Amino acid sequence: MEEKAKEIFSFIQERCLWQFHSRTWDREQNIKGVMVKATDILAGKEISIGKIETSQEKCNFADAKILVAELRDKFSWIDDMDVNAKKELMNLVKEKLIYTTITKSLNGELNVPFY
Domain with 27, as residue range(s), is: 2-105
In a domain, 85, yes or no: yes
Kindly tell me if the per-residue pLDDT of 11 is higher than 80: yes
State mean pLDDT over 103-107: 83
How distant is the alpha carbon of residue 86 from its chain centre? Answer: 13
Give CA–CA dist 32/95, Å, rounded: 9
In this prediction, residue 112 carries a pLDDT of: 78
In a domain, 18, yes or no: yes
Kindly tell me if the per-residue pLDDT of 76 is higher than 90: yes
Give CA–CA dist 96/81, Å, rounded: 20
In this prediction, residue 115 carries a pLDDT of: 63
In a domain, 114, yes or no: no
In this prediction, residue 26 carries a pLDDT of: 86
Give CA–CA dist 91/83, Å, rounded: 12
Give me the number of domains the chain comprises. 1
In a domain, 98, yes or no: yes
State mean pLDDT over 65-91: 96
In a domain, 25, yes or no: yes
In a domain, 33, yes or no: yes
Q: What is the pTM of this model?
A: 0.90
